[in-house]
Structure 1
Amino acid sequence: MLSLNRIVTSAIFSGLLTTISCQPQAEKTSPVREHITLSVYASGKVASKNQYEVKPNTTGYIKEIYVKEGDSVQNGMRLFSLSNETTILNREIASLSRSFSERENNLEKIQELEVQIDLAQSQMAHDSLLLERQKRLNEREIGTDLQLEQRLLSYAQRKTEYASLKLKKETLKRELDHNETTAKKNLEKASALANELEIKSTINGRVYSVLKEKGELVNAQNTLAIIGDGEEFILELLVDEYDISQIELGQEVMISFDSYQDQVFDARISKINPMMDSGNKSFVVEASMVTKPKTLYPNLTFEANIIIEAKENALLIPSSYIFQGNQVITSGGDTLQVRTGIKNYSETEILSGIDETTQLLKP
C-alpha cells in the first residue's frame, strides 16, 4: 500500500512539473530610442494641373476634330468646330438688321422731318405777322372780332404743328439710336454664338482624352475632350472627416504608386478644399510633388501618409505594453505610471516614468 501511494504522489508531482514547464513565458521588452512619426492615411489619384473638361456652349454637330490624344496644344488653338445652321442664319439676319438700323441709312427720315419743321416754322412766323396786323387793324376799329379770332386760331395751330414736328424729330432720333444700339448688340450676341461653334483651348497643355467623334450631336452637357498641363501635376487625396482637423498646409506627404512599386515620393499639402463630400464623408486635399517619378499620367492611383508629427531619438515602447492609457508593468511586477507623447498604430513615445534600463512585461 505504501509503495502504491508513493507511485501516485510521484505521478502527480511529475504532472505538475510538466504543466508548469508548459506555461508560456511572459513577453518582455525594454524602451529603445528611435525615430517615430504620426501620420494620417489617405488614398487618391493624380490630376494634371489646370485640367478641365472641354464642353461646347451651344448645340451642334461636330464638323471637324483638329486634335488627338497626346497632342500638345496652345492657348487659343482650335480643337473642334461645330455645325449649326440656325446659329449661322441668326448671325446673318442680325447683320442685315444692323445694316438697316445704322443711323447713316436713316438720315433721310430725319431730313424729311427737318424740311417739315422749317416749313411749319415759316408758316407760324407768317401767321404771327398776320395776327399782329389784325390786332392793329382792330385797334383802329378796322376788321371784326371774328377775323381776329381766326388769326389767333391759325397761329395757335401753326405753333402746335411746329412743336409737334420738333417732338417727332427728337422721338425719331431716340428711336433710331435705340434701334441701332439694339441691332448692334443683337449682332454681337449672334456673332458670339456663331464663334462658339469654334471650340478652342484655354490653356497651354496636352490633350489627354478625346471623347466624341465627328458627326455626333453635342450640347453644353457633353464633354468633348479632357485637357491639362503636360508637365505639372497635382495629387488629389481623400481624407476622412475624422482626420481632416489634423491636416495643415505645408505638411509632408509620403506617396507610393502602384505603378512605381518599392519607391516612395515626397509631396507637400498645397490646398485643403473646405467642402466635405457627403457621399463618402471625406475631404479633397491637394498636394504638390517635391520628388516625382519620371512619368506621370492623370488618374494614376496612389496611397499616401500625411506626416502629422515626427521626432528623432524618441524613447519608444510597443503600444501593446501600455494599459489604462498610462500604466506599464515592470519585470518585477510593479505597476508604474508613464507620461506619453506621440502615438502611432504600433509604438508610443514615453516622455517620463521609465527609461531605457526598465524591463517591461506585456499585460
Structure 2
Amino acid sequence: MKVNAILILFVLGLFACSKKEESISPTTGSITESIYASGTVKSVDQYQAFVSISGIIEEIYVQEGEEVEVGTPLLRVSNETQKFNLENAKLTANFNDLANNQGKILEAEALAQTAKAKLNLDSSLFARQKTLWAQQVGTRVEYEQKELNYQSAKANYISAIQRYKELKRQINYSAAQTKKNVQISSRQNEDFILKSKVKGTILSLLKERGELVSPQTPIANLGNTKDYVLEMQVDEHDIFQVKLGQKIAITFDAYKNQIFEAEVSKIASIMNERNKTFLIEAHFTKAPEKLYPNVTFEANIILKTKNNALILPRNYLKNDSIVTLIDGSTRVVKLGLTDFQKAEILSGLSPKDQVVKPN
C-alpha cells in the first residue's frame, strides 16, 4: 500500500509539472494580420498557343527555350485543299481583272459612241423635216418616219449607255470581289502557319511533326521569362479586405526559410463560381534569383501590422475569446489582430497572468 501511495504521488507530481509547463504568460511583440493564399508563378504574357484550323503538322520552326518576337512563325499545318482554293481564287481574279476585260469595256463604249452619232444624225434630220412640215413641205409619212428614226436612235443610245455602265460596273465588281477572295484565301492560308502572339520564350512544345492537331489542341506554351506575375486565389469571404498595393509575403518550398516580397497589382472583378474565389495578381518587389513558370508558392497578404502588442498563442484560447488561468478560473478576453498562430490581447489579461492550454 505504501508503494502504491508513493507511485500515485509521483504520477501526480509529473502531472503537476506537465501542467506547469503548459502555462504561459502573454508577451509583448509585433503581430501581423494577413490573408493566406496559395498560387502559381506565371511568366508575363504566358499563354497556350492553338491552331485555328485542323490539319497535320508539316513543319516546326522553333525549339523549346528559343526566344521569339511577335509574329514569329512557330509551325505550319498542311492542308492541300486550301492550297488549291488559293490557286483557284488567283486564277479567277486574273480572269476577272479590270485590265484583262478592258477590251469588253472599249467595245461597249464604241457602241455607245456609234449610237450617239446615229442619234445626232436622226435628230438633225427630224428637226429639218419638222421645219419643212411646218412650211407644208413634204408628206406626213416622211415627217413621221423621221420622228420614228429619231425616237429609235434616242432609245438605242440610252440603251447603249446603260449597257456600257452596267458592263463596267459588273467588271469592276467582279474584279474587286475576286481580289477579295484571293485575300480571304491568302488569310486562310496564313491560318495554317501558327505565329507567336508575344515577345518571349518557347516554354514548351506539346506536339511533334506529323501529328494531327485541331483548334482544341494546345500546341505550345509561350511567355516572357524576364518578368513574372504571381497568380493566387482568395476566398470570397476575404476578398473585401484585399486592396491594390498591399504587401504580400511569399514563400517557396525550393527556398527554405526565405521570404520574398510582392504587391497586389490586380484584383479580378468577378468571382469564379466553381470554387468561390477571386483571382489576385501580384508583382515582386523582392524576387528570387531564379524562377520557373508554374512553380507554386504560399502567400500572406498583409492587412495590418502592430508593434508592442500583448500577444498570446491562439492555441491557448478557447473559441478565440476565453482563457483559463493557472488557478483554474476563466476569463473573457478581447482580441485585436490575429494570425494563424498568435492573437493580440486588447483586454482581459496582463503580462503577469499565467494561462494554461485548454483541454
**What TM-score do you get using the length of structure 2 for normalisation?**
0.86
SS of match in other structure, 1:180: helix
SS of match in other structure, 2:226: coil
User: 1:245-303 CA deviation, whole Å, 9 max, x = no partner?
Assistant: 22222222222222333333222222122232222222221222233333222222222
- Number of the residue aligned with 1:160: 155
Report the Cα distance in structure 2 between the residues aligned to 1:280 and 1:95, rounded to whole angstroms: 53
How far did 1:337 drift? 6.5
In the alignment, structure 1 residue 192 sits paired with structure 2 residue 187:
yes
How far did 1:164 drift? 1.4
Closer/same/farther in 2, CA of residues 117 and 277 from structure 1, 3 Å limit: same
Equivalent runs, 1:137-176 vs 2, <5 Å? 137-176=132-171
User: 1:95-132 CA deviation, whole Å, 9 max, x = no partner?
Assistant: 22222222222221121112111111111111112212
Report the Cα distance in structure 1 between the residues aligned to 2:344 and 2:318, rounded to whole angstroms: 14
- Number of the residue aligned with 1:107: 102
How far did 1:179 drift? 1.6
In the alignment, structure 1 residue 217 sits paired with structure 2 residue 212:
yes
Q: Is the 8 A contact 2:314 2:320 kept in 1?
A: no
SS of match in other structure, 1:231: strand
SS of match in other structure, 2:45: coil
- Number of the residue aligned with 1:64: 59
Whichever structure has more strand as a proportion of its residues is: 2
Report the Cα distance in structure 1 between the residues aligned to 2:199 and 2:319, rounded to whole angstroms: 59
Report the Cα distance in structure 2 between the residues aligned to 1:212 and 1:170, rounded to whole angstroms: 56
- Number of the residue aligned with 1:42: 37
In the alignment, structure 1 residue 134 sits paired with structure 2 residue 129:
yes
In the alignment, structure 1 residue 86 sits paired with structure 2 residue 81:
yes
Closer/same/farther in 2, CA of residues 173 and 135 from structure 1, 3 Å limit: same
Equivalent runs, 1:1-363 vs 2, <5 Å? 28-319=23-314, 339-352=334-347, 354-358=349-353
Which runs of no fewer than 5 residues in structure 1 stay unpaired? Answer: 1-13
Q: Is the 8 A contact 2:75 2:193 kept in 1?
A: yes
SS of match in other structure, 1:151: helix
Closer/same/farther in 2, CA of residues 100 and 319 from structure 1, 3 Å limit: same
Q: Is the 8 A contact 1:58 1:193 kept in 2?
A: no
SS of match in other structure, 2:218: coil
How far did 1:352 drift? 4.7
How far did 1:211 drift? 1.0
- Give the residue type in structure 1 aligned to 2:272: D
- Higher Rg: 1
User: 1:146-180 CA deviation, whole Å, 9 max, x = no partner?
Assistant: 33222222211111111111122222222222222
Report the Cα distance in structure 1 between the residues aligned to 2:101 and 2:283, rounded to whole angstroms: 63
Report the Cα distance in structure 2 between the residues aligned to 1:66 and 1:305, rounded to whole angstroms: 43
Judge which range, 205-214 or 147-156, deviates more.
147-156
- Output the aligned Cα RMSD: 3.1
User: 1:14-55 CA deviation, whole Å, 9 max, x = no partner?
Assistant: 9x9999989856865433211111122212222111111121
- Give the residue type in structure 1 aligned to 2:141: L
How far did 1:320 drift? 5.5
Report the Cα distance in structure 1 between the residues aligned to 2:197 and 2:12, rounded to whole angstroms: 80
How far did 1:244 drift? 1.8
SS of match in other structure, 1:76: coil
Closer/same/farther in 2, CA of residues 149 and 66 from structure 1, 3 Å limit: same
Q: Is the 8 A contact 1:253 1:269 kept in 2?
A: yes
Report the Cα distance in structure 1 between the residues aligned to 2:319 and 2:227, rounded to whole angstroms: 49
Report the Cα distance in structure 1 between the residues aligned to 2:12 and 2:54, rounded to whole angstroms: 86
How far did 1:238 drift? 1.9
How far did 1:87 drift? 1.5
- Give the residue type in structure 1 aligned to 2:179: K
Judge which range, 342-351 or 297-306, deviates more.
342-351
Closer/same/farther in 2, CA of residues 212 and 359 from structure 1, 3 Å limit: closer
Report the Cα distance in structure 2 between the residues aligned to 1:136 and 1:65, rounded to whole angstroms: 87
Report the Cα distance in structure 1 between the residues aligned to 2:219 and 2:355, rounded to whole angstroms: 65
Closer/same/farther in 2, CA of residues 250 and 106 from structure 1, 3 Å limit: same
Which runs of no fewer than 5 residues in structure 2 stay unpaired? Answer: 1-5
Report the Cα distance in structure 2 between the residues aligned to 1:104 and 1:158, rounded to whole angstroms: 31
